[in-house]
Structure 1
Amino acid sequence: MTSPDSPPRPSPEDSSHPEGDRRPLTVLIGADTFSPDVNGAARFAERLAAGLVQRGHDVHIMAPSKTHAQHGTYRETIEGQEMTVHRLPSWRWYPHDWLRFVLPWMSKHYARKVLDDVKPDAAHIQSHIVIGRGLMREARKRDVPVVATNHVMPENIVDFTTLPPFLDKVVVKLAWDDASRTLRMARAVTTPTQKAADFLTAATGLTDVIPVSCGIDRSHYSPDLSPRTSNRILVVGRLTTEKHIDVTLKAVAKLDPALGVTVEIVGGGDQRKNLEVLTRQLGLSDRVEFVGRASDEELRRLYSEASLFVISSIAELQSIATMEAMASALPIVAADAVALPHLVHDGENGYLFPPGDIDGLADRITRVLTASPEERLRMQQASLDMVAVHDINRTLDTFEALYRGEPLPS
């Protein structure tokens, strides 16, 4: 985990530099999940890092190794940009289908090594769990400012602890208490939406949590505003229990067969076999395709060709997949839970339904698929208009200001 020593750098706020020091920054991002993982937190960290590199900053990543043997410091290409990734020795967490973890008592050790090698102007942790906890504490010792972004809901983790269900509430409370202790050390705490910020404040007692969208580069998507000749529902996300994809399948089974609905489900996860069994039980095998993990190019094509995007999840702090669907001009039907109402305004760019309400979801899907061409076009345009505020450049501007300790852009 070594690299050539760097010469000391002045503070990013050093007033001896013109205009508050606009030189490029060296930023160290600590992420407990990162490429090749496929989830919202990993995708955000990847896009943030790539966007910063594109702006001329020197970006380093601390992340788990891809396999236990593949640890060390590498130059990797992420989202088309080359950056330095410090891969820490990690182990598979077998109750989960892909999660890897770094031994907690080693996180500070590796944080010390990387901080002393890289000498960053700022650090940015993506969770308070293992890598983030160690990096936060060691950065503080070196007076390196830390920005913390929370993507974690402990309620989503309890399924994979292997502990008895009656201990779930205890585990969740302990996790939130730990989050509070770690996040209080940060220069600034962010989370993707105002609803997520309110949730974090209620759970931890933190104040001044800043909502900063994960952001999306709309230029990567190809909106198709033409009428559809078939009714194709797209579902994108990890196939895990909190995503409630079973609710979507059960709702599809209740739709009028005359609609000729087909469903494409993109993503992998521990619930795939169970969902495939449910699909057969519902008599939907000829109408539902499990695509698995898709490349970015293939996923963009699926967005462009779909008629409707459906998300039944009850645990979204934002949902990058929903923003991608909006940037592709899709109407959205979403569960009225956590941060999804921040993206989906009922009756505007689609509809919300009560979480877990199968009949309610079937009703909202039917409304979209039977809408007049004019009504459908109105919903598509609303998705495009509403996703504009989530432009990735706004996100990058905000984090640059937080790293430098400057006022946030308006």
Structure 2
Amino acid sequence: MTMPDTQHPLTILIAADTYPPHVNGAAQFGYRLAKGMTARGHDVHVLACRPGKGKSFSEFRDEATVHRLRSHSVPTHEYFRITFPWEIKKEISLLFDRIQPDVVHIQSHYMIGEHVLYEAVKRGIRIVATNHFMPENLNPFLPFPQWFKDIVGRISWKDMGKVMGQADVVTTPTPLAAKAMHQHAFLRKVLPLSNGIDASAYELKAGETLERHPSPTVLFVGRLAEEKHVDVLIDAVAKTPKDLDIHLEVVGGGEVRPALEAQVARLGLQDRVKFLGMASDAELREAYLAADVFCMPGTAELQSLVTLEAMSASTPVLLADAMALPHLVHDGENGHLFTPNDSDDLAAKMARLFTLPSDELAAMGKTSREMVENHSIERTLRTFEDLYRGASYDDLVV
């Protein structure tokens, strides 16, 4: 096994099956990881799908040199792309010849990540593997009965163990995800390591002011997909007392937006629910800072970066009691958990927050901000850099 030098800059190859312009947590993590490692002086290369038709190509971007592989659309997803092994294996081998990576960091056990790992194993190059995936993430895109989806899920877990079990170190964003990987993929040592965020980016700057919404406003940010259950959030807003005049802003795009818009019209909430679509970084920051409460009703969140971003903006949160979200709530201190898919419970918790005195709601937001300190992007980058240079699971687990 070749080991990177402990002093000199590294050549890092990040294999990402989803990467910007894709909009999801794994894609954003890959981008921030590349940007952070470049800022730390390393030579960073990203291998990802081409976002549209055409031949493979390379582009020089601020965050890294990004190599785009030929890819193909899938009929059940608006932007996700797949690659075929017989089209990419040779190109991956040639890329290894050209850039000579010291370490590779795969972001999934599928497609690109899988074949980058196999090439690194063959060449004796250090491998770090991070899992951002749960089988439930696939369900909305599989047009099959649940019993068949369950079989696909079991196969996915088995494949994860087979592929990631060959890495030198395996990480995932939360302890809950690490436990699931141990139980279902039979991976013995999985390091929980937050994706990390730059919390200061979502604070008001010195002298900065921001106009608040005239009505109490709940914010949702994310891909508009089935597993996010934004329909439950819309139903909950409709069930809150009318005198509270609670409004909802929805940031993001996705395949279920038309159904959500139809739901809003059916409930007569057009004046209280606003779909903002895709937002720039500046627009998203403003949405976080202006919101009174953030809600994530999703039931397949491995960490939920958008929730951490909202907490960085000193915002109380309402989160489904599912997957990793309970780790982000001290119930009654920075917000509340609600029963997944239960709009009545969510409506009651929402009304409870908006009947609190303003200073108590602000105190909840302050607690959110304090909790985010454990998810510093600098800590995450520093730990991954240690892993790239040869640190092991046992070195980092106290």
TM-score (norm 1): 0.92
Q: Does 1:113 align with 2:94?
A: yes
Q: Secondary structure at the match of 2:178?
A: helix
Q: Secondary structure at the match of 2:61?
A: strand
- Offset of residue 278 of structure 1: 0.8
User: How many residues were matched structurally?
Assistant: 390
> Paired residue for 2:116?
135
Q: Is contact 2:224-2:256 (8 Å) kept?
A: yes
> Paired residue for 2:131?
150
Q: Does 1:28 align with 2:13?
A: yes
Letter matched to residue 383 of structure 2 = T
Give me the whole-angstrom Cα distance separating, in 1, the residues matched to 2:132 and 2:172: 7
Letter matched to residue 59 of structure 1 = V
Give me the whole-angstrom Cα distance separating, in 2, the residues matched to 1:317 and 1:212: 11
Give me the whole-angstrom Cα distance separating, in 2, the residues matched to 1:161 and 1:228: 40
Give me the whole-angstrom Cα distance separating, in 1, the residues matched to 2:188 and 2:127: 16
> Paired residue for 1:244?
229
TM-score (norm 2): 0.94
Q: Does 1:314 align with 2:299?
A: yes
> Paired residue for 1:378?
363
RMSD over aligned Cα, in angstroms?
1.7
Q: Does 1:62 align with 2:81?
A: no
2:4 to 9, 12, 28: 12
- Offset of residue 161 of structure 1: 2.8
- Offset of residue 226 of structure 1: 10
2:75 to 94, 98, 101: 94
Q: Is contact 2:195-2:377 (8 Å) kept?
A: yes
Give me the whole-angstrom Cα distance separating, in 2, the residues matched to 1:288 and 1:195: 33
Give me the whole-angstrom Cα distance separating, in 1, the residues matched to 2:86 and 2:352: 53
Q: Does 1:195 align with 2:176?
A: yes
- Offset of residue 162 of structure 1: 3.0
> Paired residue for 1:217?
198
Q: Does 1:182 align with 2:163?
A: yes
Give me the whole-angstrom Cα distance separating, in 1, the residues matched to 2:211 and 2:361: 10
> Paired residue for 1:71?
56
> Paired residue for 1:6?
none
Letter matched to residue 210 of structure 1 = L
Correspondence 1:214-363 to 2 at 5 A: 214-223=195-204, 229-363=214-348
CA displacement 1:178-231 (0-9 Å, x = unmatched): 111001001111000111111221111111110000000112112589987530
Q: Is contact 2:3-2:125 (8 Å) kept?
A: no
- Offset of residue 35 of structure 1: 0.8
Letter matched to residue 153 of structure 1 = M
Letter matched to residue 115 of structure 2 = G
Give me the whole-angstrom Cα distance separating, in 1, the residues matched to 2:330 and 2:210: 19
Q: Secondary structure at the match of 1:146?
A: strand
Moved more, 122-131 or 94-103: 94-103
Q: Is contact 2:17-2:111 (8 Å) kept?
A: yes
Moved more, 133-142 or 100-109: 100-109
- Offset of residue 90 of structure 1: 0.5
Letter matched to residue 195 of structure 1 = L
Ranges in structure 2 where 5+ consecutive residues have no aligned partner: none
Give me the whole-angstrom Cα distance separating, in 1, the residues matched to 2:221 and 2:143: 26
Give me the whole-angstrom Cα distance separating, in 1, the residues matched to 2:397 and 2:312: 23
Ranges in structure 1 where 5+ consecutive residues have no aligned partner: 1-9, 14-20
Q: Is contact 1:122-1:144 (8 Å) kept?
A: yes
- Offset of residue 109 of structure 1: 2.2
CA displacement 1:354-378 (0-9 Å, x = unmatched): 1111111011111111111221122
Q: Is contact 1:34-1:46 (8 Å) kept?
A: yes
Superposed structure 1 runs of 4+ greater than 4 Å apart: 223-229
Letter matched to residue 171 of structure 2 = T
- Offset of residue 346 of structure 1: 1.0
Q: Is contact 1:230-1:307 (8 Å) kept?
A: no
Moved more, 139-148 or 215-224: 215-224
Letter matched to residue 161 of structure 2 = S
